[in-house]
Amino acid sequence: MRLAAHRGASLSLIMAVIWYGGWCFLASMAFTLTAHADAQTLRTWIPAGLLVICFYWQIVPILSASMGSALDMRKLLVYPAPHGKLFTVEVLLRVATGLEMLLILTGGVAGLLANPATGGWRAVPRLLALGFTFILFNLFLASGVRSLLERMLSYRRFREILVFLLLIGLTAPRLMVVSDVQVGQFRGLDAFIQFEPLPWAVIGHAWLGGPVLGAVAVLCIWTLFAAWFGRAQFERNLRYDAVAAQATPRGTEQPRTGSWSEHFFRFPSLLLRDPLAGIIEKELRSLTRTPRFRMVFVMGFSFGVMVWLPLVIGRGAERHGTLEHHFLIVVSVYAMTLLGQVTYWNCFGFDRSAVQFYFAAPQPIFKTLLGKNLASLFFIYMEVLILIVITLLLRVGVRLNQILEVLLVVGICALYMMAFGNMSSVQYPRALTPERVSQGGASGRFQALVFLLYPIALLPVFLAYLARYAFESNTVFAAILGLAALIGGALYWVGTESAIKTIATRRERILADLSRGEGPVASS
Amino acid sequence: MSSAAILVRGLKKSYGSVAAVQGVDLEVPRGSFFGFLGPNGAGKSTTIRMLTGLIPADSGSIDILGLRLPEDEIEIKKRIGLVPDESLLFDRLTGAEFLEFVGRMYGLDRATAIERATGLLDLLELANDRKIIAEYSKGMRKRVAMAASLIHHPELFLMDEPFEGVDAVGARLMKDILLDQVHRGATVFLTSHVLEVVERLCDRIAIINHGAIVTSGTLAELRSGGESLEDVFVRVVGAERELERLDWL
């Protein structure tokens, strides 16, 4: 066990080095750019850069389906800890969700210090004082935004709509930029970035020699406002009863028979026999009623389209012809990978301590794993079908043979994903709270593992596409895809056998991991 | 066919250097209502988990209903009803859906599972509740767990604190159901910290402490000189405390 923990820690360390190494590289780029740019360029781009930093700090943790580490109020309220101190801890935890931005900011500020146009080393007090205040402003604001969103996301049916609106809001500007909308139409955005009372513009201008005292005063007002907002939202969260908000309203309890949803849930019984049909039916019912799953499912088809669509329409299509041809497969595989966090990578996560039912039931555990995999596959293909409809509606240019190709390729990728997923589900099980949309999907160690496994799992299919591109032959493509399917099938068998053996030997450990609740600091 | 519902010999289980169960010998006759008592951390739940096949024993033998664990694991599981200390309920299902699912996992066809689930929910006064289990109270959860243990009509019930958190009416109902099952020939093996309940229900009792059985027998055999079960329990586990030491309290 100690060896496994050591191995896990090493893996986490490697992934942290890769991830933050990348951000350190970007920070060094920020240093180079700010150190060598002229005053006019800096005047234009520093406020924009600071706005992006602010935006990342607030929004990205939400888009990645987690909201970073946070205090779990329900566990802390019983202790006589002053709310002010709890709020301080909560604000400091926001550092964890914006560590990347701290690196970029440090690189940028260091570059400005090296740039004679900003006053060189004499500008140290000005740059640091305003820089620290900007960080403080972001921490307070992030705390408030997080508390507000956590509360809003706990309202029934609201979270999916909110996520959808957020995604549209985030990708709309990019969509307009890469499509045929003229740049001149974005002058309003430029004016907004440079609008002096706004914190990024104030800091940008003061850093480049503008009046410092006035800037400090304006920034302090913004920071005080953010602190008030953060504290007010924190206090509201303290008094908020999420369980009551999520309770089933009278008259909207689960329907018994005859409804369309019942027909949907009973569908596996038409094709399969028990216990497989029963397990799949249970998974369909459970997952569709799990807020966290529903949110990720919505993100699966919407986020992929929002991210990739701008690259294949309008002027983007000319630059990304290959991507346009493979648009459907890219968004489908993207949806499949996103769905993995709440399904196949940690397939017992939502069962938590109830996993022991599967250990106590008179059914081979293989059938449980297979049933869960089939349920995941069902949802993956639902995502693909939704994406097919979206691409047809958007007239991206998807043909019937491409649709068939996607259905086949997704199935093959799923074999690899689920082979690894079955192993990770029993090696790194982690209890997931269905109601908490903000809870992270997995431990750092597990996420690091997944990060490594994705390229491996997708490699065979990638090689098939590469071969088609290199040899310009569909026969070669089909042959390699067939081989990938055979290897995938064998890998699935080996992975599942390995998982079954692990369950037999580590049953207690799995149960203990899945029964464990979060501590007072819920991590992502 | 063996006359014992449970026959355990030399059962051992350790966690690292800590011996949770050290050489337990136990015989539970068929048709008995057996109370398995012990202080916290004595090894009760570990023993029950080994009996259900949830965790493997380090050594020793376990025979359940004449079948050997782990060789006949699947067959044994079909014939036992389990109410463990930790929840085995799937939170996002309604009570009816959960019971139907359990029935199907235990080999019942869907129609029979639905029919039995409806009857059990009616019996346990949960028939009109179509909320998901996550919204159930602790007592309701215990009642559903109890119903789940009954749905496949098992010969042996293994129950870890089945009445914990259940109100008086619910507990009475559950006790009546279990007594009725015993009268029909089933065996109940339960742990409980409520000694009055054990005293009233059980005909045989074993007390475990530090992973070993310290005494066992019928209630009459354990009581000597008109002691209550609580007196017997405190005496055999040596649990008398010197409260005076905490003079600040």
- Give the end-to-end CA distance of chain A in Å, rounded to a whole number: 23
Same domain, A349 and A213: no
Q: What is the pLDDT of residues A473-500, one digit of tens each?
A: 888 888 988 999 999 999 999 999 999 9
pLDDT of residue A340 exceeding 80: yes
pLDDT of residue A437: 52
What's CA B220's distance to the chain center, in Å? 22
Closest by CA position to B45, among listed A515, A278, A345: A515
Same domain, A228 and A110: yes
Which chain A residues contact residue B75 at CB under 8 A? 362
Say whether B135 and A247 touch across the interface (CB within 8 A).
yes
Residue A172 lies in a domain: yes
B86 lies within 8 A of chain A by CB: yes
Instruction: Give mean pLDDT, residues A150-172.
Output: 68
Residue A11 lies in a domain: no
Same domain, A324 and A376: yes
Which chain A residues contact residue B153 at CB under 8 A? none
Give me B225's structure tokens. 């000189």
Look at residue A360 and give its three-state secondary structure: helix
Q: What is the pLDDT of residues B21-41, one digit of tens each?
A: 888 899 999 999 999 988 888
Give me A236's structure tokens. 């509201």
- Report all structural domains of chain B as residue ranges with CATH numbers, in order of start: 4-237 (3.40.50.300)
pLDDT of residue B34: 92
Facing residue for B55 by CB, picked from A353, A362, A508: A508
Which chain A residues contact residue B105 at CB under 8 A? 274-275, 278-279, 357, 361-363
Confidence of residue A150 (pLDDT cuts 50, 70, 90): confident
Residue A298 and residue A361 in contact, taking contact as beta carbons nearer than 8 Å? no
Say whether A354 and B106 touch across the interface (CB within 8 A).
no
B45 lies within 8 A of chain A by CB: no
Residue A289 and residue A297 in contact, taking contact as beta carbons nearer than 8 Å? no
Give me A390's structure tokens. 């979206």
Which chain A residues contact residue B20 at CB under 8 A? none
Same domain, A186 and A325: no
Residue A140 lies in a domain: yes
Q: What is the pLDDT of residues A418-466, one digit of tens each?
A: 999 999 888 888 888 776 655 444 555 666 677 778 888 888 888 888 8
Give me B137's structure tokens. 């109270």
pLDDT of residue A136 exceeding 70: yes
Q: What is the pLDDT of residues A215-263, one digit of tens each?
A: 888 989 999 999 999 999 988 887 776 666 666 665 555 555 667 888 8
Q: What percent of chain A has pLDDT over 70?
A: 77
Residue in chain A nearest B53 by alpha carbon = A360
Q: What residue ranges of chain B have pLDDT lower than 70?
A: 1-2, 86, 128-129, 239-245, 247, 249
Q: What is the pLDDT of residues A205-225, one digit of tens each?
A: 888 877 888 888 898 999 999
Query: What is the full DSSP assignment across A443-511?
Result: -HHHHHHHHHHHHHHHHHHHHHHHHHHHH--HHHHHHHHHHHHHHHHHHHHHHHHHHHHHHHHHHHHHH
Residue A324 and residue A315 in contact, taking contact as beta carbons nearer than 8 Å? no
Domain closes at, from A244, A264, A287 = A244
pLDDT of residue A279 exceeding 90: yes
Q: Which residue has the higher pLDDT, A97 or B77?
A: B77
Look at residue A249 and give its three-state secondary structure: coil
Q: Which residue has the higher pLDDT, A267 or A305?
A: A267
Residue A3 lies in a domain: no
Same domain, A208 and A339: no
Facing residue for A360 by CB, picked from B88, B92, B131: B88
Facing residue for B97 by CB, picked from A285, A350, A357: A285
Give me A81's structure tokens. 């800890």
Give me A402's structure tokens. 């491409």
Give the ipTM: 0.86
Same domain, A222 and A322: no
B127 lies within 8 A of chain A by CB: no
Residue A254 lies in a domain: no
Most confident of A100-114, A145-159, A365-379, B76-90: A365-379
Domain closes at, from A228, A244, A260 = A244
Say whether B86 and A507 touch across the interface (CB within 8 A).
no
B53 lies within 8 A of chain A by CB: yes
Same domain, A237 and A279: no
User: Which residues are A370's β-sheet partners?
Assistant: none
pLDDT of residue B49: 85
Say whether B88 and A364 touch across the interface (CB within 8 A).
no
B88 lies within 8 A of chain A by CB: yes
Please give the radius of gyration of chain A, using alpha carbons only, rounded to the nearest integer.
25
Count of domains for chain A: 2
Same domain, A231 and A292: no
Residues A340 and A349: their CA atoms lie apart, in Å, by 11
Residue A265 lies in a domain: no
Residue in chain B nearest A357 by alpha carbon = B88
Facing residue for B93 by CB, picked from A282, A353, A508: A282
Q: Which domain holds residue A439?
A: 272-522
Q: What is the pLDDT of residues A353-395, one digit of tens each?
A: 888 888 888 888 999 999 999 999 999 999 999 888 888 877 7
Q: Which long-range contacts (CB under 8 A, 24 or more apart) does A244-250 make?
A: A245/A154, A245/A155, A245/A156, A246/A154, A246/A156, A246/A291, A246/A435, A247/B135, A248/B131, A248/B132, A248/B135, A249/A156
Same domain, A402 and A466: yes
Residue in chain B nearest A274 by alpha carbon = B104
Residue B64 and residue B76 in contact, taking contact as beta carbons nearer than 8 Å? yes
Give me A234's structure tokens. 């924190």
pLDDT of residue A180 exceeding 90: no
Please give the C-alpha separations between residue A128 and each of A54, A120, A132, A203, B94, in angstroms, as whole numbers: 17, 13, 6, 11, 57
Facing residue for B90 by CB, picked from A253, A351, A359: A351
Same domain, A316 and A431: yes
B75 lies within 8 A of chain A by CB: yes
Say whether A285 and B77 touch across the interface (CB within 8 A).
no
Mean pLDDT of chain A: 79
Q: What is the pLDDT of residues A19-47, one digit of tens each?
A: 888 889 999 999 999 888 888 888 888 88
Say whether B102 and A508 touch across the interface (CB within 8 A).
no
Residue in chain A nearest B82 by alpha carbon = A360
Same domain, A205 and A343: no
pTM of the model: 0.76
Say whether A353 and B87 touch across the interface (CB within 8 A).
yes
Say whether A353 and B88 touch across the interface (CB within 8 A).
yes
Residues B157 and B32: their CA atoms lie apart, in Å, by 11
Residue in chain B nearest A285 by alpha carbon = B93
Residue A256 lies in a domain: no
pLDDT of residue A130 exceeding 70: yes
Name, in order, each residue with C-beta under 8 angstroms of B171's C-beta and a sequence gap of 6 or more: B163, B197
Same domain, A277 and A232: no
Residue A407 lies in a domain: yes
Phi and psi of A474, rounded to 5°?
A: -75, -25
Residues A29 and A109: their CA atoms lie apart, in Å, by 12
pLDDT of residue B100: 92
Say whether A357 and B90 touch across the interface (CB within 8 A).
yes
pLDDT of residue A441: 47
Residue in chain A nearest B136 by alpha carbon = A247
Facing residue for A274 by CB, picked from B53, B94, B104: B104
